[in-house]
Structure 1
Amino acid sequence: MAIVPFLLSPSFDPLIQHNSKMDILIGLQWGDEGKGKIIDLISREYDIIARFNGGANAGHSIYHNDKRITLKLLPSGIFYPHIKNIIGTGVVIDPVALQAEVEQLQDCLSDANLIHRILLSVKAHLVLPTYKYWDMYFEESPEYRTIGTTKNGIAPTYSNKILRQNVRVEDIFSKDFEAYVFQILNKQYAELQALGQDMPAVQELYDNFLEACNFLKKLQITDTEIFINEALSNNKKVLAEGAQATLLDIDQGSYPYVTSSNTIASAACVGLGVSPKLIDKIYGVTKAYCTRVGNGIFPTEITGSLADELREKGGEFGSNTKRPRRVGWLDLPALKYAAMLNGVTDLVLTKADILNGMSEVPICTAYEIDGETRTLIAPTFADNVPKPVWKFLEGWDAPLNKINQQTQVPKALKLFISFLEEELKIPVKYLSTGPQREELIILGN
């Protein structure tokens, strides 16, 4: 299949007709808030689910037919036959990883039509096979700062994108593509070998990459920004799905321990080619506590047996890497910062069920820094680590996965939710009551 130019309907005027607006769903912490489950559940209300940033370093875990499935590159609407799933321009695509993910999901779901629900942007950049080994080298070499990356080659891809030295999806149709890739791989392979990096044979990397690029040609490859804008003009419902989370944003997060792309809501406009005028709801997902993976600041982090218990109970291990996540209590100043950056209109609260049975639930409501108390602050403290100011709310003790309506929510949890709404001035729209896809309650204002 060649690139498919998107055929506009005769009535489409991109400067006038926009009958619908795009919603965005964003993680408000350091990731792993449960975005995949939420998108999977609410996506039935949408016609298009679109990824706008990141790459195969983002693992969204979803329970489907009692099976735990981790999506890395595919948007979370992939389980629904009526939904078009777009991998937008701002995403970096590892062809080998995408082929493996699609084929594994096809086998798991016994769904041969799944492949027809995927659209790739012609402008999305490709992750070359040597990039993973550059990631490993930078992460493991004593000459460079250790970040704690997933070593999926994401940073080298974005770096070469900015240097204007990378290849995009559209290039796989070029007659010079294979020769150009072979040249790049051999050059980088020699450089990595000289640095002492262990790798498979270059021919193996090259052959696997080309095979996967040929697989990409089976997908719909088009100008996804035009596709989305016409869909909006035709009153279609679009949800932009964020990867990673706000506090890992390359510009606004806890640099340098961040991801390599912009993760906040405004990045959806750039990564998908949609005007900011066409944004409606912005859903922000937060856990009832905090976690993060990798290095970097974490003022509310807890350690020891309590941390181990919370980690085990919450299943706090990386979807991709299986690394144990660092855990801590809810950080309200950082949450206010994230809500401000994203312009959140509706909150989604997850993992409240993990705190079930605690006599009291700690929340960091402010920081003490240099003798000052601050209730809103960017999560960059250099060497001056702040002292959390704590508030303890009454705990709840009820099997949340057994309830299915708002009136059944325990009183203490209702007070916890009301406290968040009052502090953030944002309503909690959804409450997750367990890991299964249907364990979710819609809350009133």
Structure 2
Amino acid sequence: MDILIGLQWGDEGKGKIIDLISRDYDIIARFNGGANAGHSIYHNGKRITLKLLPSGIFYPHIKNIIGTGVVIDPLALQAEVKLLQSIISDTEIINRILISEKAHLVLPTYKYWDMYLEESLQYRTIGTTKNGIAPTYSNKILRQNVRVGDIFSKDFETYVFQILNKQYAELQALGQDMPPVQELYDNFLEACSFFKKLQITDTEISINEALKNNKKVLAEGAQATLLDIDHGTYPYVTSSNTIASAACVGLGVSPKLIDKIYGVTKAYCTRVGNGIFPTEITGSLADELREKGGEFGSNTKRPRRVGWLDLPALKYAVMLNGVTDLVLTKADILNGMSEVPICTAYETDGETRTLAAPKCVDNAPKPIWKFLDGWLSPLGKIDQKAQIPKELKLFISFLEEELNIPIKYLSTGPQREELIILGN
């Protein structure tokens, strides 16, 4: 099994890369997160954002698995499947989807808990997508939630009704605005009935049997390394483990079966929401980079914070994940700059560190900069390694030397075909 993960704060272009290399796999499997993840893919010239479905969904030969580690909003999944069916006129999509019966369900009240926690002055504001992800994982750990397989239980509707009424009363007492509880309940059950049209199974068994039969499996990570609940910039992180080793837990696969680990990084950095961002830039330059790179949330459309490439954090992410192959995206966005800044180290309290985890502390690290020559030639029309501008080749070589890992793919634009293979 191979794994593909993001090495920054998300939005590195993972969806495009997975969509491109999917043709070489038999199974694409999501292992973490929920509908808070937006992977954008250009299909037949249309930009499509996938939130829950794995990025191999456009290939008829691929089985797309939503694994045990994912939290699933039935309404979001139903809407996503129906939207795809209408866009690409493919009614066979549902036959390519397998869902873990052990994956946890996002109940409709959880979104309102998210809203309350984000908007209440009594709680820390994180900047979440308000999709109910954290409350779902919280109730999973408390062992008070329902799972996909429970929809077949004779007590399912009764138990869900009890949970919704209890939480609804609690939220009302806190002053949270909500639609009628019966409306939430009816819409949720209608979406759950849609689930029964899909293949619900022990996906961990399906994946392991596929691997035993020499099928190729790619685990698709949502969010990214620096948003990991344990190893990211806590508390401004997501609610799941996002690093490569989480794929083994979220899919039920032994670490002995892992082969390649692809890590995706932009040529610069972006971040959505609150939290430390050592290389962040502001002002007109940030606005220009944001507009040029289309740096607005795939899900929320919120403008992303932007900054220069952060090597200490990137080295940390490479170490955590055991990356074997790098993918570099958005180099085309930096085209036309006379020089490209890179943070090569942090200086904190007189100490210089070239490998570090960005920490949410009062004394923020001071970036130490290196400036490389920029490239002036547009990248969108090149399709061979020999055509890459000399300055970009030096940029790539510098990263490979610093990270001690080869860059296998260079993305030259948003379209599927805008990619150059640099390594074998």
After superposition, the C-alpha distances for 1:272-292 in whole angstroms (9 at most, x for unaligned) are 000000000000000000000
Structure 2: distance between partners of 1:332 and 1:381: 18
Identity of aligned residues (%): 89
Deviation at 1:79?
A: 0.2
Q: Secondary structure of the equivalent of 1:280?
A: coil
- Normalised by the size of structure 1, how large is the TM-score? 0.95
- 2:22 equivalent in structure 1: 43
Tell me which of 69, 79, 90 is aligned to 1:100.
79
- 2:410 equivalent in structure 1: 431
- 1:134 equivalent in structure 2: 113
- 1:376 equivalent in structure 2: 355
Deviation at 1:381?
A: 4.2
Matching residue's letter, 2:391: A
5 Å-filtered alignment, 1:112-261, equals 112-261=91-240
Matching residue's letter, 2:51: K
CA-based RMSD of the aligned residues comes to: 0.5
Structure 2: distance between partners of 1:382 and 1:300: 15
Are 2:275 and 2:360, in contact at CA under 8 Å, matched by a contact in 1?
no
5 Å-filtered alignment, 1:1-80, equals 22-80=1-59
Tell me which of 317, 329, 350 is aligned to 1:338.
317
- 2:308 equivalent in structure 1: 329
* Runs of 5+ unmatched residues, structure 1: 1-21
Are 2:269 and 2:310, in contact at CA under 8 Å, matched by a contact in 1?
yes
Structure 2: distance between partners of 1:415 and 1:43: 29
Structure 1: distance between partners of 2:183 and 2:358: 43
Q: Secondary structure of the equivalent of 1:130?
A: helix
Structure 2: distance between partners of 1:111 and 1:365: 48
Matching residue's letter, 2:46: K
Structure 1: distance between partners of 2:275 and 2:360: 10
Deviation at 1:378?
A: 1.2
Matching residue's letter, 1:418: S
Structure 2: distance between partners of 1:367 and 1:380: 11
After superposition, the C-alpha distances for 1:71-117 in whole angstroms (9 at most, x for unaligned) are 00000000000000000000000000000000000010100101000
Where do 4+ consecutive residues of structure 1 move more than 4 Å? none
Deviation at 1:444?
A: 2.7
Matching residue's letter, 2:256: K
Q: Secondary structure of the equivalent of 2:204?
A: helix
- Normalised by the size of structure 2, how large is the TM-score? 1.00
Deviation at 1:398?
A: 1.1
* Runs of 5+ unmatched residues, structure 2: none
**Structure 2 residue 263 is matched with structure 1 residue 277:** no
After superposition, the C-alpha distances for 1:287-333 in whole angstroms (9 at most, x for unaligned) are 00000000000010000000000000000000000000000000000
Matching residue's letter, 1:432: S
Matching residue's letter, 1:143: Q
Matching residue's letter, 1:256: P
Deviation at 1:355?
A: 0.2
Structure 2: distance between partners of 1:402 and 1:135: 44
